[in-house]
């Protein structure tokens, strides 16, 4: 098993070293807007436990974390008036993981609207704040 890297961007966000557009926080998880969204309202939910991937998460901490994922997913769907959701979770490079801290992508979806490609382009802060406000209001 590869060791957890305390210098990853999500660990820095948890420590308050890097800002985020926060949506939700409890004892188990932090949810915030993805700065390179593939859909309007694209959110990330990370555990407060230093887990590299799903297989590294202590089983007793997985339940509370998944409850937070579910809560945020419901708020994203309602707040964004989405018709559906896509949840994505990747493990290790071969599985598509880029940031090596466990996280779920919560992507609101609408019929006929494809996900945008991951281009590395950052969204305007105003749009992230707008979407976060809608999602927070639905919590």
CATH at residue 105:
3.30.428.10
Answering whether pTM is above 0.85, one says: yes
From 101, 103, 105, 118, the catalytic residue:
103
| Residue 37 in domain | yes
| Residue 1 in domain | no
State the pLDDT at residue 120. 86
Residue 118 annotated among the catalytic residues of the structure: no
| Residue 64 in domain | yes
| Residue 43 in domain | yes
**DSSP one-letter string for 25-89:** E-SSEEEEE-SS-SSTT-EEEEESS--SSGGGS-HHHHHHHHHHHHHHHHHHHHHTT-SEEEEE-
When divided into structural domains, the chain yields a total of 1
| Residue 4 in domain | no
Structural domain span for residue 60? 9-138
| Residue 107 in domain | yes
Q: How confident is the model at residue 119 (pLDDT cuts 50, 70, 90)?
A: confident
């Amino acid at each position: 098993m590869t060791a957890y890297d305390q210098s990853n961007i999500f660990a820095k966000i948890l420590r308050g070293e890097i800002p985020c557009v926060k949506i939700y926080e409890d004892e188990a998880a932090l949810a915030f807007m993805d700065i390179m969204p593939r859909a309007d309202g694209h959110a990330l939910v990370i555990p407060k436990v230093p887990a590299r991937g799903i297989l590294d998460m202590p089983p007793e901490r997985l339940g509370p974390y998944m409850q937070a994922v579910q809560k945020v997913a419901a708020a994203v769907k309602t707040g964004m008036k989405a018709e559906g959701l896509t949840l994505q979770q990747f493990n290790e490079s071969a599985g598509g993981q880029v940031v090596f801290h466990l996280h779920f992508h919560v992507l609101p979806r609408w019929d006929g609207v494809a996900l945008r490609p991951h281009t590395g382009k950052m969204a305007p802060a105003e749009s992230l704040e707008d979407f976060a406000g809608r999602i927070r209001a639905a919590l």
